[in-house]
Amino acid sequence: MPAPEVELSEVWRQLAGRDHEPLLAGLLAGYREPHRRYHTTTHVRWVLRHITHIAAHGEPPTDLPAVQLAALYHDVVYDPRSADNEARSALLAGLAAVALGWPPLRRQLVERLVLATAGHTPHDIDEAVLVDADLAILGAAPGDYAAYVRAVRGEYAHVADDAWRKGRAAVLRGFLTRPQLFATGAMRTAREAQARTNLTTELAALADRAR
């Protein structure tokens, strides 16, 4: 089993014990789909690590296990041609919470957290921790950010170059117009400045290729 899968399995078993191995197998299978380049277990592993980092730096979520379960499932459904990936992932996350015996309100929290990764506009600390962890790649070192961009482009290989440039540029401009990219102080301190540099650099490169 690759290292990211081992790490995800460890987090899963902390949440679920060893009584729900078929659910874990299904979760890992989702992230093994061959069309994935970025939205893999490696991405989820880093999301989980960033959640731990944020929590350790003075901004713990109110329900860490719920945030971790949402992180495990937030990209389990990922079809680049579909607009309802987060909704379908949230449904599976909610079903997992039910299987773990979590009460309805906690299941609803898990589902809401997964849905928050669609618009990346958090409304409370639990959403902020997950969304910031999901967006951490934006503030990665330039080489890692470039690898992320190439991987996402690979997932959208079915999109023509001109359409990709226009769509991607719109996403980048949307992020850059935000007063803050990250909602937690830990991530703003660690990654905000680099994220703005990365996004601005990519946007300029897209404009150059359009000429």
Structure confidence by residue, pLDDT tens digits, 69-81: 999 999 999 999 9
pLDDT at 57: 95
Nearest to 135, CA basis, from 175, 78, 76: 175
pLDDT band of residue 211 (cuts 50, 70, 90) is low
Token digits of residue 185: 């102080």
Per DSSP, the residues of 163-201 read HHHHHHHHHHHHHHTSS-S-SSHHHIIIIIHHHHHHHHH
pLDDT at 1: 82
Tell me the whole-structure pTM to 2 decimals.
0.97
Indicate whether 66 pLDDT > 70: yes
The average pLDDT across 158-166 equals 96
pLDDT band of residue 51 (cuts 50, 70, 90) is very high
pLDDT tens track for 97-140: 999 999 999 999 999 999 999 999 999 999 999 999 999 999 99
pLDDT at 68: 98
Distance CA 17, CA 10 (A): 9
pLDDT tens track for 28-42: 999 999 999 999 999
